[in-house]
Structure 1
Amino acid sequence: MTEQTSAPRPPRASIRQYVADTLRAALIAGELAPGQVYSAPALAKQLDVSATPVREAMLDLARDGMVDVVPNTGFRITQVTPRDLDQITEVRLLLEVPIMGEVAAASGAERDTQVNALRPIVDEMVDAARRKDLTSYLSADATFHTRFLALHGNDILVATVRELRDRTRLHGLKGVADAGHLVENTNEHYAMIDAALEHDRAAMEQIMRDHIGHVRTNWAAEEN
């Protein structure tokens, strides 16, 4: 995982969430390598925080099955197979495509205001993509998608999709960023906002099919 010394230190009250979001994003991006064991003090040093919030975050990841506890040593990143990713992608398509279509089809000034409020998050993603900061990128990406889905009003759905996203591995994302294509892919998020503001269910559903499809194509994890 790349060191975070250039990033501003978050307020004390938000350090635990900052650590949790950063570690999850680093794990998904492959910056925490599958099979490798990491110690809480070493990760804490990279993030410029104490070891306590790191241990708490890693224990949360262990409960989610994303890491295994190695007694007296640290935490081992779990493997996710290509078959796992295929199944995760299939479930996400079944859940997110129709629900996002319903979100797009909904109308109302308040709903449109909520959709427009997502645009600055995409701006953050574009900035992170240009800097090739994958942990920041994926953290903002998770915020964008969960807030968008939350407009449907089903908290269980949001939690389910969040868990599926956390279990995804996107080791190929670095190659996309290095090739300069990540900003282009990120523009799909602006297209989602536009489809919702235009109440275009069909457009939204197609955007989501293409977007989730990246998980098993150009954003795909390396074969194990």
Structure 2
Amino acid sequence: MIIVAVNQLQQTNLREQALAVLKLRLISGDLVPGEIYSAAALAAELGVSNSPVREAMLTLVNQGLMETVRNRGFRVVPLSDRERRNIYDLRMMLEVPSMAKLARIKEKIAPRFAEFSRIAAEITASAEAGDIVGYLDADRRFHLGLLDVLDNEQLVSIIDNLRDQSRQYGLRQLSSNGKLVDSALEHQKILDAIVDGDEAKVAELMELHLGHFVGDWAG
């Protein structure tokens, strides 16, 4: 019984890891709408067995991010301009005031300033190296990590879900022309404004930052 439990834990861990990687590739545009992907091919690329990758892809189907193609594999569900605008509006309504609220409790952020500064530096380093997946991974840890300080699990879960639905196809073009680094540098500015207790500045910076989603990042 113990062996079975350990195997199940390992399997679950592989599925979650595969899901995280696939979400990042989907958001960055590495997984292209209209293309059909097989679990076997992606599993071979990731160096794992088919099962956790297939389970991860079925999770993405359940979340409305992919769809099954009978006897062929999985296809990314396209995101329309209207859907992109709706996601942007929701993120503006939720993320801007939530991040600004952190300036009111700056004493909770200040002890972790070095931690979040390191993540901000990691975002910039990934942008400079053209590592889109690394950029998105660090970006998620920065924003959701800060929001987690508000101690509102439902809020973080909703915003995390909205991020999963995003498609930021323009990131690679931004990376090639150097503009992604400019976007990356915004993270430290947001953090500085929070620890300064400047709520209005945080809101201003977040509006600028999220504006990329329907502008530069849209592709």
TM over 0.5, shorter chain: yes
Cα-to-partner distance string for 1:195-220 (whole Å, 9 max, x where unaligned): 11111101100010000000011111
Give the share of equivalent positions with the same residue, in percent.
36
Q: Does the 8 A contact of 1:115 with 1:196 survive in 2?
A: no
Q: Secondary structure of the residue that 2:160 maps to in structure 1?
A: helix
Cα-to-partner distance string for 1:14-66 (whole Å, 9 max, x where unaligned): 54333222211110111100121100111112222222221121112111100
CA RMSD in angstroms, aligned pairs only: 1.8
Q: Which amino acid aligns with 1:34?
A: P
Determine which structure has the larger helix proportion and give its number.
2
TM-score (norm 1): 0.88
Q: Does the 8 A contact of 2:35 with 2:75 survive in 1?
A: yes
Instruction: Summarize the alignment of residues 134-173 of structure 1 with structure 2, pairs less than 5 Å apart.
Output: 134-173=132-171
Per the alignment, residue 6 of structure 2 pairs with none
Per the alignment, residue 39 of structure 2 pairs with 40
* 5+ long unaligned stretches in structure 1: 1-10
Q: Is residue 98 of structure 2 the alignment partner of residue 99 of structure 1?
A: yes
Per the alignment, residue 3 of structure 1 pairs with none
Q: Is residue 138 of structure 2 the alignment partner of residue 123 of structure 1?
A: no
Aligned length: 210
Segments ≥4 residues shifted beyond 6 Å: none
Between stretches 131-140 and 97-106, larger displacement belongs to 131-140
Among candidates 115, 123, 131, match of residue 133 of structure 1 = 131
Per the alignment, residue 205 of structure 1 pairs with 203
* 5+ long unaligned stretches in structure 2: 1-9
C-alpha separation in 1, matches of 2:187 and 2:24? 18
Per the alignment, residue 5 of structure 1 pairs with none
Q: Does the 8 A contact of 1:116 with 1:193 survive in 2?
A: no
